[in-house]
Structure 1
Amino acid sequence: MAFSYHSPAELQQLGEKIRDKAVRVTMDQAASYAAAQQAANNDATRSDTGQLPQVQGYTTPAQGRPDDEGNLRAYVGQAYAEIPAMFAVFGLPNPDDSRPMLDALYSVAATVEVDLQLTSRDNKIAAPSAVSPISGTASVGEVVDLIGGHMKEWTGDAALAFELYLKNNVRAAALHREIALSLALSLEAQLEINRRINTDIWEIGQKTYKALDGLDAWCPGANASKSVALLTISGAIAAVIFTGATAGAGGAAFAAAVGVEGLQSLATTLSNTGPLQNKKVDIGGLTVPPIITGMQNAMTELTKSIDAQQQELASGLTTFTQDVHANWNRILVPGPREMNDVRNADGASLKTSDSFRVR
């Protein structure tokens, strides 16, 4: 199913819709009304005796009984006033707006080493598609070949050391490409997490409203109004690693990649995330309070899953960073010491140098 983005304003509006529905059903449905009366009276007693009321900030009304219709409506409105904010806190920018950043990373990888037109093979190769080098650039291999052609007439220790330096840079290019692809993967994974957050909080809201709506026709002896929210956040990273998450038209897909010359890719590090996971959360009850409690429980479950996915990604990035540092001398190839003596030499000096001369 294609991702459908819901803005922070839409989440706020959904929360307001649920809040208003919860108040309306409470005042219209007999069982919910009775439960609210009891809760209001209990909170009034707590307020009068200096105890903390269940509804934050509640104080005993100055006129009338706590369970009078007017006072009760105000009490219920206060009880559910925070619902819009509970949804708004999950608001995020549209993940698909980051597509240019991903394309830039893939273009960097394609520029460093052009062999990117690959397909996934048994979850062992990172396979971005529809990418091309940055316009007006050449791959490291092409640049090294060009320099090597001009170096054919040069001899001496420094010349040989520089030739080896060029070859090491060709090998390093594969590592540079792996770094760029792993950075792209980390962004792909984070954006997929954000998509699942946006999808799941909308799902929670829709199913909460559906459960509340079911109480409108409630009558004594009827079954509880029940909805089931399907949370997908726990499979976010696995979807990127194993299934391949495509973000936007012509987007890049990833599968678990092997390391390059000893540098373990981020995809390999994250490939132990396991199979895709969906979690069902019940939202329902015979009155409004258990439905709202079910909604809050679903939000708590979503938050826990978000934390788990973020920690998984952070741990993978930490391991990958350590691996990059361990391979630093092969990633950033040091210049040959033999070139130091001729670093500032002019053409005439180079032609007579023992360590770096032209035939």
Structure 2
Amino acid sequence: MLPLQHQLLHPNRATHAHFACNGNRLVTASGTVSNSEGQVFQWGTANGQQICGPIADDSLLCVEALDESRFATGNMTGDVRVYEVGSDQPIHEFSFKQPVFGISNNPTREDFLIVSGKTVWRQSFDDQPAELLAKCKREPALCVSPDGQSIGIYFGVTLQVVDVDTGADVCDPAKHKLKVSCSCWVSSSSVVTGSDDGFVRLYDVADAEFRKEAIELTGWIKSLDVCHQSGQLLVTVETKGKPRRGLAQCFDASSLSPKSPEFAHDQLVTHGSLDASGGLIATASADKTVAVWNSETGEQLASLPHSGTVYQASLHSSGQLVTRSSDVVNLWDISSVVG
């Protein structure tokens, strides 16, 4: 059992949790548009105390850490507000015509990306008007390349790669047979996609085509995470058939060959993450647990009980693990199993 550092209670269901300031701060959110009680909280990870008053936003939809010192919120009325960590007063405010469903940081640049309705925008921090990058047929999701020059935009069965500066398509759109559920970049020229068709595919941007190598799993791909240092790709999947179970497994990010045994839960795996070295894996599950695994041997190093379904398990290089379940965000000390 890993030491529980802090239990951070929220007035409603916790919806987001992001590390900031090299792991010294945690930004969380609770509430939904339906209950009109959205709030954003900022915590010190050393003492588990709030560092300033909560930020109220009755139409809150999303929160994203932009870098180590700034975070942004988006809401149903199209407002985007940027805050310095440690302050409850916005330093920038932007308005869009449609609800803001997503915000993505671009750590190599002084701008960030916004999903408003079915459109994607690039917004700088100098209060200049946002630049339209893409119009989509459906509400999209984003992933940003490591060099910050390209974004993967996925909606429906389609992955579209766009140049951040010009908004031009970098290559022809790629398509799965069923919905693309998740995507991430494994290098600045390769992006991987997971789909409800059970396939994980590697798309070579320069060649504008999927590579022949693919991961085929019997189920629905739920999430992807990549460790650039170790070259590992973590895939979580919900199996078909009865009873449905949750699995996670590591693959080589370049060849898509297996690099670990399967990590299994009795119920759906909702989220998975790798630590900075690729040596540890954390999986969150509907079975009310978070498991920490050795990524090479498959040994389960810890099983952390929760009171309900766990929706997030994120490892940080500071030796901390944040988990999110119902109205509680927990901080755990993983230093005893690191290395």
TM-score range normalised by the length of the shorter chain = under 0.3
Query: Which structure has the highest helix share of the two?
Result: 1
TM norm structure 2:
0.16
Higher CA-based Rg: 1
Larger RCO: 1 or 2 (CA < 8 Å, sep 6+) = 1
TM-score (norm 1): 0.15
Normalized per residue, the structure richer in strand is 2
